[in-house]
Structure 1
Amino acid sequence: MSHLKVLTPVESKLSDLLDPLPTEEELDECLESPWETRERLVLRRRVEEEVRRAVDNNMVFPPSLLDQAADQVFSVSKEEPCGLRGCVLIVAYMDPTYGEQQLIRVKCDEGAPTTHVLVLRLHPDPASWYTKMARIFRSLGKRKIVISPKFELVKYGYIDYGSKGELKRL
């Protein structure tokens, strides 16, 4: 037999049982248009496919890294005049031996003018179990690079001087 207690208005107020209602600003922040969700997913898939193609499927990404990066790219691009459409995204790998290596360059919308450039810097994860096992078993064949869940996103402004553009860090 289950125990059921009926609350009467005298014992407690309904507002005590429920959380306070969100303000209009909070509602605007949490509600996202379907267009924004779609654009974020398209950006994530496109970056993942092009990076995998550029490195011959030789990188292992943490499960949520590309989603977090796409979220940050999208939120940083909101401040720009053309938004995400005016973004050029450069994905670079910070190799401990050779330094920064550019993997891909993605223009989000070819028809829109470039208003800003974002550089997503991926770092290796030397502490992962896969990296440690690859060091032990050198005969595993082609080594895969394990990417750290931490990344950098640097924003540059883009100044167009006719035929060549110039990057300026913001």
Structure 2
Amino acid sequence: MVATNKMKTKSIEASVERRYEQVCMEKELDFWDHCLAEPQVAADVTEDRTSHQLAKMLESCLSRAKKTTLHCSSVLVPEKLTRRIAREVLRLASGEPCGLRGCVLYVQLELEKGRKQLERIAYDSSVVPTFELTLVFKQDCTAWPSLRDFLLMGSCFVPAFRHVLKLSPGFRLVKKKLYSSSAGTVIEEC
């Protein structure tokens, strides 16, 4: 009877040891799954930061252009337009050899008379450009001016450059690869 008792104890110890090993292996696998998933989270955070940074660059471009090129008192930008544009630019840059660092972005405004060049933005000027993107903002001509805008534009006491420019939520991105002669131009209307 003593022998059977030792056998039961040994078999219990062996099963406890197997369970302990199984729990350790599961914890180890969970740890590595978590570690492998972290770069994706880090990539998402980096992409969000880059998108936010690019949106800020576009906003400052419009801010500078309102005084120098557009000669208006303010530019009304639809909510989240610059963030949408930044995400589209990142999407188009994702397949390029240097990514966004190899991009030269030309910002233009489409007017009734034609286009106005607002600015040229190089995300990283130390990298030789591999592709060009032309961003074309569209003016919102469908909206009637507000009473305040009408008074500002029509008043003889206010300088002529005090008008308000309203941008449309739509835009156009034109991508041109600089390193490939066979690659064509990609035009995306958003």
The alignment's TM-score, normalised by the length of structure 2, stands at: 0.63
Equivalence map 1:2-81=2 (5 Å): 32-56=43-67, 58-81=74-97
Give how far 1:156 is off: 1.0
Is residue 134–residue 143 contact of structure 1 (8 Å, CA) maintained in 2?
Answer: no
How far apart are the structure 2 equivalents of 1:133 and 1:88?
Answer: 40
| Length-normalised TM-score, structure 1 | 0.70
2:149–2:163 contact (8 Å) kept in structure 1: no
Residues of 1 paired with 2:148 and 2:115: CA distance? 23
What is the CA RMSD across the aligned residues, in angstroms? 2.6
- 2:124 pairs, out of 95, 100, 109, with 109
| Offset of residue 132 of structure 1 | 5.1
Unmatched tracts of structure 1, length 5 or more = 1-26, 161-167
1:59–1:145 contact (8 Å) kept in structure 2: yes
On the 8 A contact 1:117/1:157 being kept in 2, the answer is yes
Could you tell me whether the CA contact under 8 Å between 1:55 and 1:103 is conserved in 2? no
2:178 alignment partner, SS class = strand
Q: How many residues align?
A: 135
The partner residue of 2:141 within 123, 126, 141 is 126
1:158 aligns to 2:158 (yes or no): no
CA contact 1:89–1:107 (8 Å) conserved in 2 = yes
Structure with more strand by fraction: 1
Q: Provide structure 2 residue ranges, at least 5 long, that are not aligned to the other structure.
A: 1-36, 68-72
Is 1:100 equivalent to 2:118 in the alignment? no
Contact 1:126 1:132 (C-alpha < 8 Å) held by counterparts: no
Q: How far did 1:134 drift?
A: 6.2
- Rg larger in 1 or in 2? 2
